Structure 1
Amino acid sequence: MTKGDHHETGRLEYVGEGLSEGELAPTPFQQVSRWVEEARARQREVGDVPEPDALSVATVDDDGPDVRTVLMRFLDPRGPGFVTNLTSTKGRQITARPQLAASLTWPTMFRAIRFRGTAELLGRAEVEDYFSARPWGARISAWASHQSQPVAGRAQLEAAYREYAVRFPDRGRPDDVPVPEQWGGVRLRPHRVELWGGRINRLHDRLVFTRTGDGDLDDASSWSLSRLQP
């Protein structure tokens, strides 16, 4: 796929391949998985999609909308998921109001996926399985950081890291570092999935799966398809 060309006005022309109904996979899960794998492959082969699993997550509280970027650590027919300190700002927002939106965006591929749905906490066994597979240093950081809380300076944060590194030394075992009680995972159970493909002259493709049944993302009978104008 080629990158967009700059016109004399300095605007970037979106010369993506787009997405037609005839090219669409039969279920949202299959289509999302296809695009995610293609983004990962492009990063391996070309190197211009530096974080293909970067997931922007939007929540809401009494002050209004809030958004941040995390890494998508789970993707299965139930929906995309990520890990976090559950006492963090987003953790508290999700607990209070589980309505959630998220997006994956790959600018060099002129593609994006938008999800809207409801958040649910991952089961403890699933969280523990994932946590044990993280690098030792990342597991230590989960203990050292009181996510979203103020800190006097970086020195304080690094001191906390050293303290937990001594407490839980690296012996090369998955159980070297226990899972912090406040650390967990969140899955977005979508009721809407939109696939955006950039096209020339801003005539982009927007294909939307909308939930019509109780099945998961890989159950074709639970979703209807529509096209939106760009």
Structure 2
Amino acid sequence: MLREIRNNYQKHKLEEAKLPEDPIALFDYWLKEAIKEKVQEPTAMVVATAADGIPDARIVLLKEISDGNFHFYTNYHSTKGRQLATNPHVALNFFWPELERQVRVKGTTSKVNDALSEEYFNTRPRESQLGAWASAQSETLTNRQQLEQKYEELEKHYEGEVIPKPAHWGGYQVEPFEIEFWQGRPGRLHDRIQYQKNAQGQWTFRRLSP
């Protein structure tokens, strides 16, 4: 029965006296611990958008943290890309069950510069580069063969050549204004610490009831 599935969290705790002033420092520490503990897909994050008041969510991979911003890459013509063009605000969610931890982020997106997107694109496996060209992300396909045929055509077209970054593909950076750290604790008395950024760009935190 679903009602009987539960875990008693007891691995870690959050203490105010040990918290850094900058939440990015704590996030970086938690992420490194998740990688060290071999959490499956430690950089996976839910990206939730809201266009026309209707929420939408999907999982993407965090690719960089730069100047306190979270970076991910996608097709600008995709559903999420169109939604971000309408409403740049997003919510991110990281969940590392092996560490009994969750991080929630609220922020505002903007596109990274094209040079940075191209730099990252050039590090991707060739198959992924071809996939970025082959897939009209979020558009309707007649069948699987249509996608595979397009991929094969591009593979032949770029054989022996460097694959350029598509103009419709690139990165977003999420500038956070709120970050919440959730640490599972026994008896469902979990630790929740919420950081908020003020108008001067300074972070403050408070403890929330679980």
**1:6 counterpart residue number:** none
The worse-fitting range, judged by mean Cα deviation, of 21-30 and 149-158 is 21-30
Q: For residues 1-230 of structure 1, what are the structure 2 equivalents within 5 Å?
A: 9-43=4-38, 49-62=39-52, 64-170=54-160, 176-215=162-201, 222-230=202-210
**1:4 counterpart residue number:** none
Once the two structures are superposed, residues 111-140 of structure 1 have per-residue CA deviations (whole angstroms, 9 ceiling, x without a partner) of: 011110111111001101100011111101
Question: Aligned partners of 2:184 and 2:56: how far apart in 1?
Answer: 26
Identity of aligned pairs, percent?
A: 37
What is the TM-score with the length of structure 2 in the denominator?
0.94
Question: Aligned partners of 1:63 and 1:196: how far apart in 2?
Answer: 27
How far residue 214 of structure 1 moved from its aligned partner, in angstroms, is 4.2
What is the TM-score with the length of structure 1 in the denominator?
0.86
Structure 1 stretches of at least 4 aligned residues deviating more than 6 Å after TM superposition: none
Cα 1:185–1:214 change in 2 (3 A) is: farther
Once the two structures are superposed, residues 170-201 of structure 1 have per-residue CA deviations (whole angstroms, 9 ceiling, x without a partner) of: 56xxxx11010100111111100111100010
Q: What is the number of residues matched between the two proteins?
A: 207
Alpha-carbon contact 1:86-1:184 (below 8 Å) kept: yes
5+ residue gaps, structure 1, are: 1-8, 44-48, 216-221
Question: Aligned partners of 1:170 and 1:32: how far apart in 2?
Answer: 41
Question: Aligned partners of 1:11 and 1:143: how far apart in 2?
Answer: 44
Alpha-carbon contact 2:21-2:203 (below 8 Å) kept: no
Quote the RMSD (CA, aligned, Å): 1.3
5+ residue gaps, structure 2, are: none
